[in-house]
Amino acid sequence: MRRGLFITIEGPDGSGKSTQIQFMKEYFEANGIPCLFTREPGGTSIGEKLRSIILDKDNAEMCDMTEALLYAASRAQHVEELIKPALDSGKVVVCDRFIDSSIAYQGYGRELGDAVRVINEYAVCGCMPDVTYLMELDPSIGKSRINADVQDRLELERIEFHNRVYDGYKEIAKLYDERFVEVNAAREKEAIRNDIIGHLEGILKDRGLLCR
Ligand code: TYD
């Protein structure tokens, strides 16, 4: 039976997820809460190998369905090898991107549609996030924050692609509003932190994971 708490953080490239994840890490450590921080694509040895194939700028010929299946394959391994065992042992798991990234990027961005959700429901085997923070930021602002020299295959996509991804995220957030928390990411990082940690603290208290 699952006892931990599964948190995911989503949003366009350059929306400040990494900064907020660092704040969460500091918060969990300060409160002595057992946690696992991980990311997608990747998280496991097999997943990291798939990550380098997926994001390699030289793999320009990769077709959209191959891309979707590789993300899903990386996720299946991640859930089985790392996420489920951590949740079963009572940990809080924080994952930088998860199933909603595939639905937004491959489903909406690549326009593969609902097939992406279906494939990924097989991949995650019922292991869905309890709460998902969506960093809301205009994709053109996010894109401008990433140095052009270090952009990966996905980040190099045209702005139209990133706009479709962002519209997709907003649709998914409405569809699954019981777990999505929309965060205005166009503010100072401390203001964003206070919103996220404040919300998280409420959940941790409800679940008896925070004893103060
Ligand atoms: P990464 O460098 O981890 O980006 P970020 O720091 O913004 O999370 O690269 C992951 C890229 O892969 C990012 O552009 C989003 C994309 N992606 C998908 O297209 N589908 C997915 O299922 C996942 C997990 C990521």
Nearest CA residue ID for atom 11, ligand 1: 154
pLDDT tens-digit series, residues 16-73: 999 999 999 999 999 999 999 999 999 999 999 999 999 999 999 999 999 999 999 9
Residue nearest to atom 22 of ligand 1 (CA): 102
Query: Which CATH number is correct for 5-206, 3.40.50.720, 3.40.50.300, 1.25.40.10, 3.40.50.620?
Result: 3.40.50.300
| Cβ of 155 less than 6 Å from ligand 1 | yes
Specify the pairing of strand 5-10 against strand 35-39. Answer: unpaired
pLDDT band, residue 210 (cuts 50/70/90): confident
pLDDT at 212 over 80: no
Question: Rounded CA gap, 112 and 91, in Å?
Answer: 34
Which pLDDT score, from 0 to 100, does residue 102 have? Answer: 98
* pLDDT digits 0-9 by tens, 93-146: 999 999 999 999 999 999 999 999 999 999 999 999 999 999 999 999 998 888
In order of 11, 95, 136, 183, 193, the CA distances from 197 in angstroms are 17, 15, 17, 12, 6
CA of 40 to the centre of ligand 1 (A): 7
Residue 211 reports pLDDT greater than 80: no
> Where are the chain's structural domains?
5-206
Q: How confident is the model at residue 12 (pLDDT cuts 50, 70, 90)?
A: very high
Does the CA dihedral 169-191-144-48 come out positive or negative? negative
Whole-prediction pTM? 0.96
User: How far separated are the first and last CA of the chain, in Å rounded?
Assistant: 26
> Does ligand 1 come within 6 angstroms of the Cβ of 10?
no
> Is the beta carbon of 97 within 6 A of some atom in ligand 1?
yes
Query: What spacing in Å lies between the alpha carbon of 30 and ligand 1's midpoint?
Result: 29
Please report, for residues 36, 52, 74, 75, 78, the alpha-carbon distance to residue 45 in angstroms, rounded to integers and kept in the order given: 16, 11, 10, 12, 9
Least confident of 63-67, 92-96, 149-153, 186-190: 149-153
